[in-house]
Amino acid sequence: MTNVMHTLTYVLDGGLEKVVYMICENLGRENYNHTIVVLSKQKNSFLLDKFRTLGAEIEFLDFDNRLFSVKSLAKNLKQIFILARLIKKKNIQVLHTHDFFPALVARLSYLAALIFFFKKIPLVYVTLHNIFFWLKPIHHRLNKLMSGLTTKVICVSKSVLDYSLWHDKLSEKKYQIIFNGVNVDEFAPNEEIRKHYRRLFECSESDFIIGNIGVLSVRKGQKYLVDALSKIDQKKNICLLIFGSERSHEKNIPKELYELIQKNSLSEKVKILEPRDDINLIYNMFDVFVMPSIVEGLSLCAIEAMLMKKICLFSDIDPFTEMIDDGVNGFICKREDSGDLALKLDNIISHYEEFGFIGEKARETALHKYNVERMAKEYKALYDSSF
């Protein structure tokens, strides 16, 4: 039995957390014990409950990732020692950490476990789920320094790999790309389910529904989507549904979105809704799926929408242009440009019946490249590489 520890800042409703869940789910319980370490305080979530159902152990710590003061630094040093003791106690053989802050504190904790408890971990992996445009040069120097304690750095797309190579300046041999995957059996278009959810959310069959799923964040660019909607003929029967939760460090984003909705008199057309654990079924009611993100790694929601044969309109950031051949399996618009987004969206709405082939091609792409069996097989090979 291999003891695996995953470290994450939070376990809320994001794609990162879903990827970790799918790794645990698809590697099975027979050969792996999974411990999920949540580094910062949070409320319960449906994903935490799903982890528990899998039999994963959940450990909560109290790190402060803001580091505004000497007090928060002292608090984090204490938490590092607690995590080091946990690594020793659970005899962790694979330490798998996700994104910058969890990767930093987990590897520091491993160093503490090595020094104070003589505990060596055979395999230490860092998965980079995003392009971290907000990091400063010192953060990249820390990544390079910590790479000596790292077996492999896993990137979820070529764009993430290129970004890390350029900024962290590690050897190319240190990297491996593992594309995110989705359980394709959970994502199949169904007309009856489409009708059910339209009734549930008080939308008629004649409504043209634009969907967006993602945390309410500046990174996701939802404000450009709301602004774009204001530029489209309001006589058209259009509805925008955004499913996503706020993040503690971006509490201003929902407020800004609501103010933009009010300013453009879109209260009857735009709804911001809480995340749900039946989101795989909700895709059915969308006519088009839009992600105007400023930055991504490899979005699960984008893959899921493609599997559901949705006509997808994504911003022209590198991870999306890796996935989408414009006009073949989806459409691309200029990032941070609500005018271009409105133009492309209006064209899709006006010629919707002509674009059925787009959804078919999108599903073909997702089935071929982004299935969970392939992702789990590649992670399993890493986990088993020293045993």
Q: In this structure, are 148 and 64 located in the same domain?
A: yes
Q: In this structure, are 148 and 216 located in the same domain?
A: no
Which residues 6+ apart lie within 8 Å of 310 measured at CB? 211, 283, 286, 287, 288, 289, 359, 362
Q: Can you tell me the distance from the alpha carbon of 33 to that of 19, in angstroms, rounded to the nearest whole number?
A: 17
Q: In this structure, are 244 and 131 located in the same domain?
A: no
Q: In this structure, are 148 and 12 located in the same domain?
A: yes
Element holding 117 (H helix, E strand): helix 100-117
Q: In this structure, are 58 and 192 located in the same domain?
A: no
pLDDT at position 234, please?
A: 66
Q: In this structure, are 243 and 157 located in the same domain?
A: no
Q: In this structure, are 297 and 346 located in the same domain?
A: yes
Look up tokens 């309410």; give the residue.
216
- 161, 175 in Cβ contact below 8 A? yes
pTM of the model: 0.88
Structural domain span for residue 283 = 184-369
Q: In this structure, are 39 and 107 located in the same domain?
A: yes
- 333, 320 in Cβ contact below 8 A? no
Q: In this structure, are 93 and 224 located in the same domain?
A: no
Q: In this structure, are 164 and 207 located in the same domain?
A: no
pLDDT in tens, the chain (387 residues): 999 999 999 998 788 999 999 999 999 778 999 999 999 988 888 899 999 999 999 999 999 877 667 888 889 999 999 999 999 999 999 999 999 999 999 999 999 999 999 999 999 999 999 998 888 999 999 999 999 999 999 999 999 999 999 999 999 999 999 999 999 999 999 999 999 999 999 998 889 999 999 999 999 999 999 999 999 876 678 999 999 988 777 889 999 999 999 999 999 999 999 988 899 999 999 999 999 999 999 999 999 999 999 999 999 999 999 999 999 999 999 999 999 999 999 999 999 999 989 999 999 999 989 999 999 999 999 999 865
| Alpha helix positions (H), 236-288 | 252-263, 279-282
Q: In this structure, are 162 and 188 located in the same domain?
A: no
Which residues 6+ apart lie within 8 Å of 222 measured at CB? 212, 214, 216, 242, 244, 253, 257, 292
- 116, 142 in Cβ contact below 8 A? no
Task: Give the other-Cβ count within 10 Å of 340's Cβ.
Answer: 18
What CATH number should be reported for the domain holding residue 169? 3.40.50.2000
Give how many domains the chain has, as a whole number. 2
Q: In this structure, are 56 and 85 located in the same domain?
A: yes
pLDDT tens, position by position, 25-83:
999 778 999 999 999 988 888 899 999 999 999 999 999 877 667 888 889 999 999 99
Q: Tell me, what amino acid is at 16? A: L
